[in-house]
Amino acid sequence: MAPIDVVSAIAPTNIGAVPKLLSEVASAGEALSEAGHDSVVARRELLAKARELTRALETPREIMIQQVWAQPCNVMAISFGVQSGLWTAMANNGDGPQKVVDLAKQLGVQEELLRRMMRHIAASGYIDMTAPDEYTPNNFSKSLSLAVMGSGYHTGPPILNPAFLQAHDWLKDKGYKCPTNNLDTPYQVAHNTKLHWFAHLQANPPHGQNFNDHMHGYLLGRPGWMDEGFYPVKERLFDGFDTAKDAVLLVDVGGGFGHYTEGFLSKFPDAPGRLILQDLPPVIAQIQQLNPRIEKMEYDFFTEQPVKGARAYYTHFILHDWPDADAIKIAKRVRDAMKPGYSRFLIHEHVVPPMGQDYEQTALDLIMMTNFGAKERSPAQWSELLEKNAGLKIVKIWTPINGIESVVECVRPE
């Protein structure tokens, strides 16, 4: 018999904490007003407290139903809205109330189907029902009409989620151990393929394009690594930069559609030197627009790095995609191209702290586990990978805000 009484499943998770949490929510709210509504840190602190409050009030049974019924159905219903064009239609129709009957006609979908999908999304608080079968667009529904938001729903449910669903059987079969071979993960079982994740995506258009658009959606609103108070670009990269005409300032290795280099240029439009974006040929070919100052280069990062002695080699979300042996190979290719005493390798990745991890970090870690046989790394794991195995030296780990990716700054010792 279970040692826990079933009554605990219907009692609030932590009702005793509610009074204290209420006053902490109020204080965090005041802090946000004082800091200004665009303060990332103050807003995140209030959000964390508000979530803690909700969690304390909910019963375990409510959480369970929320997780196993409501949220999967929300993902399905919101994705249906992306696919059918519902969110775009609503955004185009303007800010006024919109009836299901009219929207169904406009989209060419069954009225009953649309009614049932929309009312679940509204019951969950994501859209506003203003009268029976009538909805008024809000900031969330309008944002869903953006390609960068929609691409998340084109990537999560069809690409990532099937691997989560396979994970239980896969892990049981393997004796409950983390996958470490990127050709033998729940992903390959879920998608019935022998291909690696990236190769499989590119072999199944438009998933590759959707994924890179989703990477753009991911970075929206997050502090840039080159922002004031994060990585000191002027002191570390511009000062002492080689003045030769063709000197390279930055190589964005595995840079996808170039969003991070574009972000860098928007902050530093007068940055000196050349900026190079490298990725596999199909990804480079899918780029639709790019700041003309950025040079596109087809490159496989397991091969010799053709750009030698750049001031900075930059990677965002590259090494976390790969198990240790592959990540070491990629890092060594960069190390071999670096000029000792001059080049820096800026690894823009999560550095998972021992406590107080952010759920975006931990979710990404499980995505890496189940889809890539890879991981998010702790400071000790980064040191082992880069210093012990790839011949690099970590100069400093720059972490401006807990839960936001750090810059692990490395140099080549000799």
Ligand X SMILES: C[S@@+](CC[C@H](N)C(=O)[O-])C[C@H]1O[C@@H](n2cnc3c(N)ncnc32)[C@H](O)[C@@H]1O
Residues in touch with ligand X (CB under 6 A): 198, 212, 215, 254-256, 259-260, 279-280, 283, 299-302, 316-318, 321
Nearer to ligand X by Cβ, of 372 and 382: the residue is: 372
- What's the closest the beta carbon of residue 276 comes to ligand X, in angstroms? 13
Q: Which residue is nearest to ligand X (CB)?
A: 256
- What's the closest the beta carbon of residue 310 comes to ligand X, in angstroms? 16
- What's the closest the beta carbon of residue 368 comes to ligand X, in angstroms? 10
Nearer to ligand X by Cβ, of 316 and 344: the residue is: 316
- What's the closest the beta carbon of residue 317 comes to ligand X, in angstroms? 4
- What's the closest the beta carbon of residue 116 comes to ligand X, in angstroms? 35
The full length of the chain comes to: 414
Tokens of 26: 């109020």
Q: Measured between alpha carbons, how far is 32 from 222 in angstroms, rounded to an integer?
A: 17
Closest CA to 382 of 414, 346, 358: 346
Within 10 angstroms of residue 250's Cβ, the number of other Cβ atoms is 29
Nearer to ligand X by Cβ, of 79 and 371: the residue is: 371
Distances (CA, A) of 299 to 86, 254, 256, 313, 375: 39, 8, 11, 14, 24
Helix (H) or strand (E) holding 196: none
Q: Which amino acid is at 306?
A: P
Q: Measured between alpha carbons, how far is 327 from 323 in angstroms, rounded to an integer?
A: 6
CB 219 within 8 A of CB 362: no
Closest CA to 86 of 50, 132, 33, 140: 140
CB 240 within 8 A of CB 296: no
β-pairing, 128-131 with 98-99? Answer: unpaired
Closest CA to 148 of 221, 204, 92, 213: 213
Nearer to ligand X by Cβ, of 78 and 318: the residue is: 318
Nearer to ligand X by Cβ, of 32 and 265: the residue is: 265
Nearer to ligand X by Cβ, of 121 and 312: the residue is: 312
Secondary structure of residue 94 in the 3-state scheme: coil
Closest CA to 348 of 319, 307, 309, 371: 319
* C-alpha Rg value of the chain to the nearest Å: 24
For tokens 């775009």, name the residue: 88
Give a three-class secondary structure readout of 74-85. Answer: HHHHHHHHHHHC
Q: Measured between alpha carbons, how far is 369 from 376 in angstroms, rounded to an integer?
A: 9
Nearer to ligand X by Cβ, of 46 and 364: the residue is: 364
- What's the closest the beta carbon of residue 27 comes to ligand X, in angstroms? 35
Question: Which residues belong to the active site?
Answer: 320, 349, 376
Nearer to ligand X by Cβ, of 198 and 230: the residue is: 198
- What's the closest the beta carbon of residue 119 comes to ligand X, in angstroms? 36
Closest CA to 24 of 48, 5, 2: 48
- What's the closest the beta carbon of residue 302 comes to ligand X, in angstroms? 5
